Amino acid sequence: MFDESKNPDFNLMPKLPFKFKYRFADDAGKVSNMMIEDWEIGQLYWNCLKGSTPREAAKKVREKYLDDFANKKDLYLFLGTTRRWHMSAPNPYVIIGTFHPPIVDQLALF
């Protein structure tokens, strides 16, 4: 699949110039930093970059993931690990996806 001689039209996605992550505290007060490795955040960045500077595009991504997803939606994080860090890092987990449905008032069901 990655052999360019067999598929000359195949291009790898360029690396993002920023690392996006969530920093949060659990119930015990322990603070965690988790990098977001989801392809959707990369695509959002590239879409926001059109007509913007890299810093402006990163700011738009931050607004979407923090102001919208984390503060206005019911945010769920899908976590995964990488083989390289799974056995050696104190926290080997990274965010590999997000699910952010609208907040539903459960009392409205009754």
pLDDT digits (tens, 9 = 90+) for 39-71: 999 999 999 999 999 999 999 999 999 999 999
Q: Which residues of the chain have pLDDT under 50?
A: none
Three-state secondary structure call for residue 103:
coil
Q: Which DSSP string do the residues of 41-55 spell out, in sequence order?
A: HHHHHHHHHTTS-HH
Q: Which pLDDT score is estimated for 14?
A: 82
Helix, strand, or coil (residue 61): helix
Which residue ranges make up each domain of the chain? 21-109
Predicted TM-score (pTM) of the model is 0.77
